[in-house]
Amino acid sequence: MSERHAAEIIHKYYAAYESKDKQALERLLSDDFTFSSPQDDRINKEIYFARCWPFSENVRHFHIERISESGGEVFVLYECESASAPAFRNIEVFRIEQDKVKEVAVYFGRNTKNVLAESGAGEIRRLVEKRLEAIRAKDAEGATSAAAPDVLLFDVVNPLQSTGANAEKSRAEEWFSTFQGPIGYEILDLRITAASEVGFSHGLNHASGTTKDGTRFDMWWRATACYRKIDGRWMITHEHNSVPFDMTNGQASLGLKP
């Protein structure tokens, strides 16, 4: 394959990320496509799309600086302009057979891991925002859709701990059923930190509303959540909700406000 023809295919590969055209990228990849990076060891096509495609939302433009073919491999040096983080530079090695990309191996530049971490934090923030909307609507399915199958919950009410997505959903359904009308819900001082596969957030949560017996509910508490990327999707693996207690009387401090 000529270097010019290989360059045409590679430009189409990066253009699919720029235009967010997943189908165009799928057509370029062979059925036995594999992808490698400092974080991925020859993953297949399905896992590649699960892990890597979400980053397309942050891609503004690829500036391809050099393409060079040698011994059936095509070396690409590029700078990626991100929509939400500083630009970064990588080298990627392509193997192309019968006009299909059969293999890609990426070698990260100095700033790449930092950009991927910022991208992960953005994905987690969107997960949190979507969850807030579900809680306000008393949608138990939506509020717990990001819970990992083995999620561990430390809640402000009994029991001491709960395990599993079903237990978390049941807890949400039970809580929502105590309200008449929608729930007011917000998170103050939300802080999110993420690496390539794990992340956590913390903040002060506030819920308000009217219970079915007509009582006005208004409560602040502390919340920490831990996340793990499972098959390319950020999921909640642990939640810890708590309130301080008054050491003089042993009672929970339910009336505190920021």
- The pLDDT tens digits for 214-240 are 999 999 999 999 999 888 789 999 999
Which CATH class, in words, describes the domain spanning 3-110? alpha beta
Strands (E), 45-99: 59-70, 73-82, 88-97
Provide block-wise average pLDDT over 10 residues at a time, the chain (258 residues).
86 96 97 93 93 89 93 92 85 95 93 75 90 96 96 94 96 96 95 89 97 94 95 92 91 89
Q: Of the candidates 168, 175, 140, 160, which has an alpha carbon nearest to the alpha carbon of residue 225?
A: 168
For CA atoms 133, 137, 138, 144, the dihedral sign is negative
> Is 115-252 in the same CATH topology as 3-110?
yes
pLDDT of residue 3: 78
The model's pTM is: 0.66
Other Cβ atoms closer than 10 A to 160: 6
Residue pLDDT, tens place only, 14-32: 999 999 999 999 999 999 9
Region at 69 (left for phi over 0; alpha for psi -120 to 50; beta for the rest): beta
Extract the tokens encoding 118. 């910022």
pLDDT of residue 122: 82
Residue pLDDT, tens place only, 51-60: 899 889 889 9
The whole-chain average pLDDT of the chain stands at: 92
User: Is the CB of residue 156 less than 8 Å from the CB of residue 242?
Assistant: yes
Residue 130 neighbours by CB under 8 Å, 6+ apart: 142
d(CA 32, CA 98): 13
d(CA 171, CA 177): 10
DSSP notation for 8-51: HHHHHHHHHHHHT-HHHHHHHEEEEEEEEETTEEEEEHHHHHHH
pLDDT of residue 56: 92
d(CA 167, CA 147): 10
Q: Of the candidates 135, 247, 119, which has an alpha carbon nearest to the alpha carbon of residue 193?
A: 119
Token pair 């974080």 is found at: 39
Pick the CATH number of 115-252 from 3.40.50.2300, 2.40.30.10, 3.30.70.20, 3.10.450.50: 3.10.450.50
Listed by start position, the domains of the chain span: 3-110, 115-252
